[in-house]
């Protein structure tokens, strides 16, 4: 087992390094002169050169790359063009909002999905199944932001139950993470985006749980459990559900990584100040150090969660974690 972990961690470091390098390359090919946005036409050539030097853009590419990697290791993402403050501070301020949104939605989506999925497997062939499966498929087929638009139009604009965007009521300030988590206003703003994301995410666990449960339910050891006279309930819960949870747990970890990147659209629809929104605005305004920082953070969380998913599966499945025959 330890060998498996070491191998996966080594692999993780390699992937992180390659992703960081790819990001570096991608952003260096960005169109438009990075300094264009905040240079007024009156700036002469000499001042423009000074600025480039300030951001280290005049050095040869590979030298920039080494500086970039060096800074990356120390968590320094460089200076934002527009907001003239360290990118890292902007990111650390925005990341918690994304994490809270993602975690709340994932927990709700997977809780709902697992329970309903198990129930549908238990009640195979029922009317509920004929209704629930197309619904689950439909939520997976719908664009996230469109779901957001519908909820926004109905609950915010039409009924006015929820704010129409942002994370804080006008005039309020977000403050530190603990301030946000303790402020009702923050949670009130979180409702709609979280509901949208939950609606979007619950399809996968529901279908996956049902499919795995059905697969497990006609395994031979379930037939044996029935032969032992165990009640249908204890068979489903103790035997089928436990085995069916393995792939769902992996999907949860993968889902966490993927949706942190995927929230870009939800955060845009609801103007939710998460890291996705930071990326969008940064790319739209060619503030590429900020965009690059946001991208790397999202990518790193994704890669780390992919590895966590892999290790979680190995840890949970005794066939992998407890080694071969004695």
Using CB under 8 A, which residues numbered 117 to 146 contact another protein? 134, 137-138, 140-146
Site for another protein contains 221 (CB under 8 A) = yes
Of these, 230, 249, 271, 312, which contacts another protein (CB under 8 A)?
230
Tell me whether residue 62 or residue 319 sits nearer to another protein (CB atom).
319
SS3 4: helix
Q: Tell the smallest beta-carbon distance from residue 306 to another protein (Å).
A: 6
Site for another protein contains 14 (CB under 8 A) = yes
Give me the residues paired with residue 79 across strands.
86
Question: How far is the C-alpha of 316 from the C-alpha of 248, rounded, in Å?
Answer: 11
Tell me whether residue 43 or residue 221 sits nearer to another protein (CB atom).
221
SS3 208: helix
Q: Which of residues 290-309 bind another protein (CB under 8 A)?
A: 291, 294-295, 298-299, 302-303, 306
Q: Residues binding another protein: what is the number (CB under 8 A)?
A: 78
Q: Which of residues 262-281 bind another protein (CB under 8 A)?
A: 262, 264-265, 268-269, 276, 279-280
Which distant-in-sequence residues (6+ apart) come within 8 Å of 7 by Cβ? none
Tell me whether residue 183 or residue 203 sits nearer to another protein (CB atom).
203
**Cβ(296)–Cβ(23) under 8 Å?**
yes
Q: Which long-range contacts (CB under 8 A, 24 or more apart) does 240-244 make?
A: 240/118, 240/121, 240/213, 240/216, 241/118, 241/213, 243/212, 243/216, 243/219, 244/118, 244/121, 244/209, 244/212, 244/213, 244/215, 244/216
Q: Which of residues 161-220 bind another protein (CB under 8 A)?
A: 164, 219-220
Q: Tell the smallest beta-carbon distance from residue 172 to another protein (Å).
A: 22
């Amino acid at each position: 087992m330890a060998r498996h972990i070491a191998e996966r961690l080594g692999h993780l470091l390699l992937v992180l390094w390659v992703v960081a390098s790819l990001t570096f390359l991608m952003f260096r090919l960005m169109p438009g002169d990075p300094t264009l946005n905040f240079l007024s036409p009156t700036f002469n050539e000499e001042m423009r050169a000074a600025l480039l030097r300030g951001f280290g853009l005049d050095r040869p590419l590979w030298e920039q790359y080494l500086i970039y990697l060096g800074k990356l290791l120390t968590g320094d993402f460089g200076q934002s063009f527009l907001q003239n403050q360290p990118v890292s501070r902007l990111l650390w301020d925005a990341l918690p909002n994304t994490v809270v949104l993602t975690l709340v939605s994932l927990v709700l989506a997977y809780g709902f999905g697992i329970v309903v999925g198990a129930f549908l497997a238990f009640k195979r062939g029922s009317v509920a199944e004929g209704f629930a499966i197309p619904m689950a498929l439909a939520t997976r087929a719908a664009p996230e932001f469109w779901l957001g638009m519908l909820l926004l139009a109905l609950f915010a604009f039409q009924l006015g139950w929820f704010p129409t965007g942002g994370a804080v009521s006008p005039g309020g300030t977000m403050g530190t993470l603990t301030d946000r988590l303790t402020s009702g206003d923050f949670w009130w703003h979180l409702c709609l985006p979280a509901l949208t994301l939950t609606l979007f995410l619950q399809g996968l666990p529901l279908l996956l749980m049902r499919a795995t449960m059905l697969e497990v339910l006609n395994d031979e050891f379930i037939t044996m459990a029935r032969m032992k006279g165990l009640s249908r309930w204890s068979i489903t819960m103790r035997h089928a559900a436990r085995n069916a949870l393995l792939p769902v747990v992996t999907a949860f970890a993968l889902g966490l990584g993927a949706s942190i990147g995927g929230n870009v659209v939800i955060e845009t629809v609801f103007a939710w100040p998460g890291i996705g929104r930071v990326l969008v605005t940064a790319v739209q305004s060619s503030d590429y150090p900020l965009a690059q920082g946001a991208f790397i953070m999202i990518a790193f969380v994704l890669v780390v969660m992919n590895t966590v998913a892999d290790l979680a599966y190995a840890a949970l499945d005794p066939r992998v974690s407890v080694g071969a025959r004695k």
